[in-house]
Structure 1
């Protein structure tokens, strides 16, 4: 016995429309429409009726908690402003968070702690929607990062540069900072595409976008990590304590950037669906997890339900109240109930356009309640569920409170951005130095035994330098008295080991912490100030050294006598009796070239005082 079909006016009207369609010329002229209607009528998309966001039996209870929180905050601080974001957060937080010992309980011992947590929750919502839209690939929204201007210049003016432009392209400023292409997470995006079979999980269309559930800009840089850590503790208002403690490091980790730029935080969506998601026109609610293979618990399926969200145009920075007749709490509940009763699949904007989406495989319009399944590793599925749960709550709050409409009011708190930016610069420098050190250690570990630690010099014609010879040693200290052997004729006998090469301006000193390749490939240019001693190679100096060398070989005692005469002459010219002795004590040992020069100039009556040794 077959069930009796309903015979309502709507059903009879539908039968008449279908009969007219099949008997008309449209089917013969456009057979594609016939197949589309057939696919639509035979389609069975997975659907679960969406439940109300705020159950009816919880409305009165949540209103009482909102009134208690508002009264306590206003008693402690009359200037405290309760906004629509705060009010919506009270509506969406789990009920146990409003009870005693809950995260947003009005019975907390410290009213300052309650105000801080509620404000932090609002900041987390604003940070979510701001970064969600700014990170969209087709967004025209400007970055929230402030640009510093040079002192003495107007904002937007170009600083003068002495560098010559190497590019003839129009619109390219050579003074602008260069940012390499952001290719991070490309392999993770490929994993997402392969997992979702390179088609939108809802519309089944190709050539879509990889959409992030939680914005990847929460932790893509050190500065963003520090800013996220300021407000991420407020996620406890929308997640259970165990889940938050387990996955807190995924949202902001000082030692690991890009923690949410993973395939378990990505979904392959149609470009229009991607825009809807980032602008909180739709929300993705996780209905749970299933294990499709009982014998294999390494794979799990995440159930994701699509929901069109109720968006308002409330000012998120305007003060609201939950007390009295016609309060804002009741108005927001009434608007939500009206939206849910209409079951409107799209929100009509100004004009004739509307928000809508259709499955291309069966021509079924996407409505709230459609469910898709995404299978992945069990560990990744748990992470994906945590991201979906937090994203769902933050998106609903942003849509209902109006924060998604007033983006110019949803900026990050810039009170201490400059301090955080400086801290981020220091942390980034430390990470770079650590990475550089690890690379050097890896390079040294990969060298074979007995191999030189330094490669051949980059400059042609230079002999190899001993790798274990430091840039400075006591043997070459300028303050050490010169060796008497310098005044002797050079030894022409062959030696077993070649003498070390002389230090030249082309030979850069070894710098601590600098890799061998950088030391040899970056010679110090001429004219740069260095710590190397200056060497006089003029002909005058060579002639003087030859003269001193010949006198030292022929008459060493005469040099001593001459030195004594020069000392007495200097003492007679200078009223200070210690002037000559001080100069002789400055590295001028008897028999040294400096002492001989002093003696010679003294005999000639030169008024020039002896120079100290060159350093």
Structure 2
């Protein structure tokens, strides 16, 4: 059902504004604005009422299940209360998962497994929104990094803070760092070509390629193991109880494939956005809803997919706050009321506190504001439709949980051996730590028997230099090729003269190793 027409008084005010505008002296600026007004009023945009965040008719049953879950968990922990994000999980999962035999059933599920599944669903939402830790790690570690041992063990490279090479456009996506660079480049080009090399929502040029599900989920062994450990939570969130095994068998390798790291880096998991929308999307302020698809050609088989844009609610309260379920001040129903109020306003753009700017965007060609409910049509190979739907549906569910619960903080999670935390995969952390230690070590210089300003008997500067070269060229490790570093602005003759002077004077000096890449030597 569409919105009601404007009241007569509002239409009259708009008519008066238009008349007053054209009664003014028509400068070049006003003429351009008049052209844009015409484009805005005549634009043919696709709009459907925003899809609801909350289920429509089963709130009372979900409320009863929440009370039963809390009561069961209190049998072991008397002071236990569900948190806001756990309540958001209960409001999002399929209802069959809360009923008897469901994975979150307080009636049939064991207490231990019930609590574990609930916590893993919270972890899953965190796993989705925690896409900035890897990028931050790369920023922090670039000053201590040298060439990694291999592509498979680490993917650390200098980024925009490095003086080794300039920042490139490929690095704008904080999480876009596939291990297989040729495939990553091919994916980016394919996505840009598919989307007309423009933001799909605003039609601005030079877009960024935004991943729908973080590509890091399926990138390295530790990350793949972590994602794999959350597959049970995913099937609980995404499928009815009687279909969850089918969902897992169909989609698990799309999201966590140990035999093919980086296999989520394909056009079906990416979309073109301008930089600002990409920034908001990665922070959970935007949600994309899969609406449906229809075939358009048979040779090659292509389909048209309908995707709806939605601004997401922002609640500044903590996600881990305790919820009081039952009684007069029922926190469960308070969350429901907050979300329904947001929906009744047609899902407006979120307002960020303590900022003068606002969250908003306009279509570049016609000036139409980007509002919740705006729909786009995307042409994709028919074989990719189900994959695109999987990642869009999973993204939609994860961002709903996080934004309903609040925007501040996450619960404390038990230690995870493969946890990326605030750094990166274990192998990368260990390698960077090793390089930091090597940078502080002293080189293995020959011991001095006495302090003198003359060279030892029977030695010459050239012989001393030759012995030093032989001693350190026996080990091919790049970190030990550091006593003689020829920089780009040093010629061999300058290096030789410097070393000869040092050999003649024999002044004892402490010289630390310099971590440099072989191609910089």
Q: TM-score surpassing 0.5?
A: yes
Q: Does residue 317 in structure 1 map to residue 316 in structure 2?
A: no
Counterpart of 1:213 in structure 2 is: 212
Contact 2:54/2:340 (<8 A) preserved: no
1:526, distance to aligned residue in structure 2 (A): 7.5
1:83, distance to aligned residue in structure 2 (A): 1.2
Counterpart of 1:347 in structure 2 is: 350
Task: For residue 85 of structure 1, give the secondary structure of its aligned residue in structure 2.
Answer: helix
Counterpart of 1:243 in structure 2 is: 247
Q: 1:76 to 1:298 in 2, by over 3 A?
A: farther
The CA deviation string for residues 395-422 of structure 1, in whole angstroms up to 9 with x for no partner, is 11111212x432xx3676534348999x
Contact 2:218/2:262 (<8 A) preserved: yes
Q: 1:401 to 1:26 in 2, by over 3 A?
A: farther
Partners in 1 of 2:228 and 2:30 — Cα distance? 58
Q: 1:304 aligns with which of 307, 315, 339?
A: 307
Counterpart of 1:17 in structure 2 is: 17
The CA deviation string for residues 256-292 of structure 1, in whole angstroms up to 9 with x for no partner, is 1012111110000011110111011110011112112
Q: Does residue 96 in structure 1 map to residue 96 in structure 2?
A: yes
Task: For residue 125 of structure 2, give the secondary structure of its aligned residue in structure 1.
Answer: helix
Partners in 1 of 2:475 and 2:256 — Cα distance? 47
Counterpart of 2:74 in structure 1 is: 74
1:68, distance to aligned residue in structure 2 (A): 1.2
Counterpart of 1:198 in structure 2 is: 197
* Number of aligned positions between the proteins: 398
RMSD: 3.5
Counterpart of 1:559 in structure 2 is: none
Counterpart of 1:396 in structure 2 is: 400
Q: Does residue 252 in structure 1 map to residue 273 in structure 2?
A: no
Partners in 1 of 2:314 and 2:145 — Cα distance? 44
Task: For residue 49 of structure 1, give the secondary structure of its aligned residue in structure 2.
Answer: coil
Task: For residue 75 of structure 2, give the secondary structure of its aligned residue in structure 1.
Answer: helix
Partners in 1 of 2:345 and 2:67 — Cα distance? 30
1:254, distance to aligned residue in structure 2 (A): 1.7
Moved more, 319-328 or 181-190: 181-190
Partners in 2 of 1:418 and 1:144 — Cα distance? 19
Counterpart of 1:536 in structure 2 is: none
1:313, distance to aligned residue in structure 2 (A): 1.8
Partners in 2 of 1:73 and 1:340 — Cα distance? 32
Counterpart of 2:417 in structure 1 is: 416
Counterpart of 1:232 in structure 2 is: 231
Which runs of 5 or more structure 1 residues have no equivalent in the other structure? Answer: 148-170, 427-523, 529-615
Task: For residue 57 of structure 1, give the secondary structure of its aligned residue in structure 2.
Answer: coil
Partners in 2 of 1:198 and 1:27 — Cα distance? 33
Q: Does residue 405 in structure 1 map to residue 408 in structure 2?
A: yes
Q: Does residue 33 in structure 1 map to residue 33 in structure 2?
A: yes
Q: 1:415 to 1:172 in 2, by over 3 A?
A: closer
1:82, distance to aligned residue in structure 2 (A): 1.9
Aligned pairs (5 A) from 1:359-508: 359-402=363-406, 404-406=407-409, 409=410, 413-417=414-418
Task: For residue 292 of structure 1, give the secondary structure of its aligned residue in structure 2.
Answer: strand
Q: 1:122 to 1:367 in 2, by over 3 A?
A: same
Contact 2:102/2:109 (<8 A) preserved: no
Moved more, 410-419 or 359-368: 410-419
The CA deviation string for residues 182-226 of structure 1, in whole angstroms up to 9 with x for no partner, is 563111111111111100000000111100000011121111111
Task: For residue 30 of structure 1, give the secondary structure of its aligned residue in structure 2.
Answer: helix
Counterpart of 1:583 in structure 2 is: none
Task: For residue 257 of structure 1, give the secondary structure of its aligned residue in structure 2.
Answer: coil
Counterpart of 1:338 in structure 2 is: 341
Counterpart of 1:612 in structure 2 is: none
Counterpart of 2:270 in structure 1 is: 266
1:79, distance to aligned residue in structure 2 (A): 5.6
The CA deviation string for residues 326-372 of structure 1, in whole angstroms up to 9 with x for no partner, is 12111111111222222353222223211001101111000010001
Counterpart of 1:515 in structure 2 is: none
Contact 2:304/2:378 (<8 A) preserved: yes
1:58, distance to aligned residue in structure 2 (A): 1.7
Task: For residue 308 of structure 2, give the secondary structure of its aligned residue in structure 1.
Answer: strand
Q: 1:267 to 1:410 in 2, by over 3 A?
A: farther
Partners in 1 of 2:361 and 2:18 — Cα distance? 23
1:41, distance to aligned residue in structure 2 (A): 0.4
Counterpart of 1:292 in structure 2 is: 296
Partners in 2 of 1:127 and 1:344 — Cα distance? 25
Partners in 2 of 1:395 and 1:129 — Cα distance? 8
Contact 2:49/2:373 (<8 A) preserved: yes
Q: 2:280 aligns with which of 268, 276, 280?
A: 276
The CA deviation string for residues 375-434 of structure 1, in whole angstroms up to 9 with x for no partner, is 1111211101100000001011111212x432xx3676534348999x9769xxxxxxxx
Partners in 2 of 1:6 and 1:177 — Cα distance? 63
Contact 2:291/2:306 (<8 A) preserved: yes
Partners in 1 of 2:278 and 2:475 — Cα distance? 58
Q: 1:16 to 1:180 in 2, by over 3 A?
A: closer
TM-score by length of 2: 0.69
Which runs of 5 or more structure 2 residues have no equivalent in the other structure? Answer: 150-155, 159-176, 429-471, 477-521
Aligned pairs (5 A) from 1:124-203: 124-131=124-131, 133-134=132-133, 141-142=136-137, 173=144, 179=156, 182=177, 184=181, 185-203=184-202
Q: 1:196 to 1:98 in 2, by over 3 A?
A: same
Contact 1:291/1:300 (<8 A) preserved: yes
Partners in 2 of 1:373 and 1:276 — Cα distance? 21
Task: For residue 210 of structure 1, give the secondary structure of its aligned residue in structure 2.
Answer: strand
Task: For residue 248 of structure 1, give the secondary structure of its aligned residue in structure 2.
Answer: helix
Partners in 2 of 1:398 and 1:6 — Cα distance? 35
From the CA coordinates, give the structure whose radius of gyration is larger: 1
Counterpart of 2:64 in structure 1 is: 64
Counterpart of 1:572 in structure 2 is: none
The CA deviation string for residues 83-137 of structure 1, in whole angstroms up to 9 with x for no partner, is 1111001101122222222222222241211111111101111111112x3467x
